Chain A
Amino acid sequence: MFGYTVEEVGNIMVMQGFSGLSLFSVLLLMALGLAIIFGQMGVINMAHGEFMTVGAYTTVFLSKLAVEYDIVKSYFVFAIIAAFIIAFVLGYLIEYMMIRHLYKRPLDTLLATWGLSLVMQQVFRSTFGAKEVSAELPEWLLGSFQPTEGIDIPINGVFVMALALIVTVSVYLYMFRSRGGLRVRATMQNRVMAGAVGINTKQVDRVTFALGCGIAGVAGAAFTTIASTGPTTGSLYIVDSFMVVVFGGAASLMGTIASAFGIAQAQSILQFFMTSSMGKVATLMTIVIILMMRPEGLFAAKVRK
Chain B
Amino acid sequence: MNALSEKLLGGKQGAIHLAILAVLLLVILPLCLDLFRLGLVGKYVTYAFVAISLVLLWGNGGVLSLGQGMFFGLGGYCMAMFLKLEASDPISTKIQTTPGIPDFMDWNQIVALPWFWEPFKSLPLTLLLVLGVPVLLAFIIGMAMFTRRVGGVYFSIITQAIALILSILIVGQQGYTGGVNGITDLKTLSGWDIRTDSAKYWLYFVNASLLILCIMLSRFILTSKFGMLLLAMRDKEERVRFSGYDVASFKIFIFCVAAMISAVGGAMFTLQIGFMSPSFVGIVPSIEMVIFAAVGGRMSLIGAVYGTLLVNFGKTMFSETYPELWLFLMGGLFIAVVMFFPEGLAGLYEKYAPYFSITSLHTRWLKKVQKVSGESQ
B328 near A284: Cβ-Cβ < 8 Å: no
List residues of chain A with CB within 8 A of the CB of B331: 115-120, 122
B153 near A107: Cβ-Cβ < 8 Å: yes
List residues of chain B with CB within 8 A of the CB of A115: 291, 330-335, 338
Docked CA distance A103–B52 (Å): 27
Chain A 69-112 interface 0/1 with B at a Cβ cutoff of 8 Å (1 = within): 00000000000000000000000000000100110011111111
B150 near A295: Cβ-Cβ < 8 Å: yes
B131 proximal to A (CB < 8 A): no
With beta carbons under 8 angstroms apart, the residue of B144, B291, B342 that contacts A292 is B144
B14 to chain A, nearest CB (A): 26
List residues of chain A with CB within 8 A of the CB of B145: 292, 295
B172 near A119: Cβ-Cβ < 8 Å: no
List residues of chain A with CB within 8 A of the CB of B58: 107
Docked CA distance A239–B161 (Å): 7
A281 near B328: Cβ-Cβ < 8 Å: no
From known contacts A108-B338, A116-B335, A122-B324, infer whether A239 and B172 are also in contact, taking CB-CB under 8 Å.
no
Closest to A297 in B: B154
Chain B 138-166 interface 0/1 with A at a Cβ cutoff of 8 Å (1 = within): 00010011001110111011101110110
B283 proximal to A (CB < 8 A): yes
B338 near A111: Cβ-Cβ < 8 Å: yes
A121 proximal to B (CB < 8 A): yes
B232 proximal to A (CB < 8 A): no
With beta carbons under 8 angstroms apart, the residue of B148, B154, B168, B334 that contacts A114 is B334
B156 near A285: Cβ-Cβ < 8 Å: no
Docked CA distance A18–B152 (Å): 36
B160 near A239: Cβ-Cβ < 8 Å: yes
List residues of chain B with CB within 8 A of the CB of A38: 153
List residues of chain A with CB within 8 A of the CB of B257: none
B153 near A110: Cβ-Cβ < 8 Å: yes
Q: Which of A9-17, A144-152, A179-187, A272-280 is the contact stretch? A: A272-280
B165 near A278: Cβ-Cβ < 8 Å: no
With beta carbons under 8 angstroms apart, the residue of B153, B154, B283, B290 that contacts A295 is B154
A136 to chain B, nearest CB (A): 28
Chain B 162-177 interface 0/1 with A at a Cβ cutoff of 8 Å (1 = within): 1011001101100000
With beta carbons under 8 angstroms apart, the residue of A106, A117, A118 that contacts B153 is A106
A291 proximal to B (CB < 8 A): yes
From known contacts A242-B157, A246-B158, infer whether A118 and B168 are also in contact, taking CB-CB under 8 Å.
no
Docked CA distance A38–B58 (Å): 21
Docked CA distance A294–B160 (Å): 18
List residues of chain B with CB within 8 A of the CB of A284: 161, 164-165, 168
Within 8 A of A (CB), among B160-217: 160-162, 164-165, 168-169, 171-172
Per DSSP, are chain B's interface residues mostly helix, strand or loop, or mixed? helix
A226 proximal to B (CB < 8 A): no
Interface footprint category on B: 35 or more
A287 near B328: Cβ-Cβ < 8 Å: no
B172 near A278: Cβ-Cβ < 8 Å: yes
Within 8 A of B (CB), among A119-166: 119-122, 125-126
A243 proximal to B (CB < 8 A): yes
From known contacts A239-B283, A281-B172, infer whether A292 and B332 are also in contact, taking CB-CB under 8 Å.
no
List residues of chain A with CB within 8 A of the CB of B148: 292, 295
A123 to chain B, nearest CB (A): 8
A37 to chain B, nearest CB (A): 12
With beta carbons under 8 angstroms apart, the residue of A102, A122, A281 that contacts B165 is A281
B268 proximal to A (CB < 8 A): no
A62 proximal to B (CB < 8 A): no
List residues of chain A with CB within 8 A of the CB of B162: 288
A219 proximal to B (CB < 8 A): no
A44 proximal to B (CB < 8 A): yes
With beta carbons under 8 angstroms apart, the residue of A102, A111, A118, A120 that contacts B290 is A111
List residues of chain B with CB within 8 A of the CB of A42: 153
From known contacts A98-B339, A114-B287, infer whether A125 and B324 are also in contact, taking CB-CB under 8 Å.
yes
From known contacts A106-B152, A285-B165, infer whether A122 and B328 are also in contact, taking CB-CB under 8 Å.
yes
Chain A 44-74 interface 0/1 with B at a Cβ cutoff of 8 Å (1 = within): 1000000000000000000000000000000
Within 8 A of A (CB), among B308-339: 324, 327-328, 330-335, 337-339
Closest to A242 in B: B157
Within 8 A of A (CB), among B329-366: 330-335, 337-339, 342
With beta carbons under 8 angstroms apart, the residue of B141, B152, B168, B327 that contacts A122 is B327
Within 8 A of B (CB), among A261-305: 275, 277-278, 280-281, 284-285, 287-288, 291-293, 295
A44 near B156: Cβ-Cβ < 8 Å: yes
A234 to chain B, nearest CB (A): 13
B294 proximal to A (CB < 8 A): yes
Closest to B337 in A: A111
A275 near B172: Cβ-Cβ < 8 Å: yes
B64 proximal to A (CB < 8 A): yes
B157 to chain A, nearest CB (A): 5
With beta carbons under 8 angstroms apart, the residue of A102, A243, A275 that contacts B339 is A102
A281 near B169: Cβ-Cβ < 8 Å: yes
Nearest 3 interchain pairs by C-beta: A115-B334, A277-B172, A118-B331
7 further A-B contacts with Cβ under 8 Å, apart from A125-B327, A243-B157, are A109-B338, A112-B339, A115-B338, A116-B335, A118-B334, A239-B164, A288-B162
Would you mind naming 24 contact pairs between A and B with Cβ atoms under 8 Å apart? A44-B153, A101-B339, A105-B338, A107-B156, A111-B287, A111-B338, A112-B334, A112-B335, A114-B287, A115-B333, A115-B338, A119-B332, A122-B327, A125-B324, A125-B327, A239-B283, A246-B158, A281-B172, A287-B161, A288-B162, A292-B144, A292-B145, A292-B158, A295-B148
